[in-house]
Amino acid sequence: MKTEAAVKSVLVVEDEQSIRDILVELFEVDGNAITSAELLPEALDKLRTQRFDLIVTDLRLGGKRDGGLQVMALAGMLSPDAMVLVLTAYPDDSNRQASFRLGALHFLEKPVDLATIANYAATVGVRTAFATSLSE
């Protein structure tokens, strides 16, 4: 029985449909359980009901300047071992510092290269479509 093939859980929180779809598609490979949320209340509900290995969140959600920070704060309590990647089109120093204080490991400015996200995901054992296509 293989234990290293444990399913990895990924939460994608992004209010822009096209970006959310691309990120979900990036992680839709065997061995991953993908959950996505468009807005803050939905993301917080998902964090309360499941633990995640990887959380990719937009900083501003549905016009809420601190939406992503709230996602990170709850993730720190409920999924403390998760890698958190923050995506933003508004990369200012106060948001960057707040994100790191709340446990984000990487603060990425949009547009983000998907290969960069895939590389970070790989460090916590989360496979992506990039890794799958490279190994074929």
- List Cα–Cα distances, 126 to 16, 39, 48, 83, 92, in angstroms: 23, 24, 21, 10, 28
The pLDDT value given to residue 5:
62
136 residues of the chain, pLDDT tens digit each: 444 568 999 999 999 999 999 999 999 999 999 999 999 999 999 999 999 999 999 999 988 888 999 999 999 999 999 999 999 998 889 999 999 999 999 999 999 999 999 999 999 999 999 865 544 4
CATH annotation of 8-125? 3.40.50.2300
pTM, 2 dp: 0.92
